[in-house]
Amino acid sequence: MTSSPREFDTERVLCSLSELDETGSRGFAVGEGDWPLRGFVVRTANGVAAYVNTCPHAGHPLNFRPNKFLTPDRNLILCASHGALFVRDNGLCIAGPCPGQSLRAVPIEVLGEYVLLAEGADPEALANAL
């Protein structure tokens, strides 16, 4: 969902849309303490989506290298640990050890050129929900 630019809490900024143009995906961390919400944002057919950076198969982070969440052709999300493949638009696993399971979506909004954690979303609750 794209909204018109307005003032917003800069602590909710996950990335700029231009950062997604370069890589197709971008990791982020939101929150304080030892266990912030770690996730990533991807371009989709309808705009952008964000997910918690945890594979539903074993709870591992999806990426080994920063901002590398996609297959080489950038069509699918890839779990580097187990080879699971997920649809960018909805996080559904279509191949690998967890077919039919989904990545946990992170509620976001787009304001102007920025992707933000949705107002009212609780990073701690998202980080702790397994």
- For 42-51, what is the mean pLDDT? 93
| Rounded Cα gap, residues 56 and 61, in angstroms | 10
Longest dimension (CA), the chain: 43
Write out the residue range of the structural domain in which residue 87 sits: 2-121
Name the strand (E) or helix (H) holding 20: helix 17-23
Residue 3: what pLDDT?
45
Task: Report yes or no on 91 lying in a domain.
Answer: yes
34/85: higher pLDDT = 85
Task: Report yes or no on 81 lying in a domain.
Answer: yes
Task: Report yes or no on 129 lying in a domain.
Answer: no
Q: Is 35 a residue whose pLDDT tops 90?
A: no
Task: Report yes or no on 130 lying in a domain.
Answer: no
φ, ψ dihedrals at 19, nearest 5°: -65, -30
Looking up residue 14, the CATH number of its domain turns out to be 2.102.10.10
CA neighbor of 53 nearest in space, from 90, 109, 94, 104:
104
Residue 114: what pLDDT?
95
φ, ψ dihedrals at 18, nearest 5°: -65, -30
Count of domains forming the chain: 1
pTM: 0.89
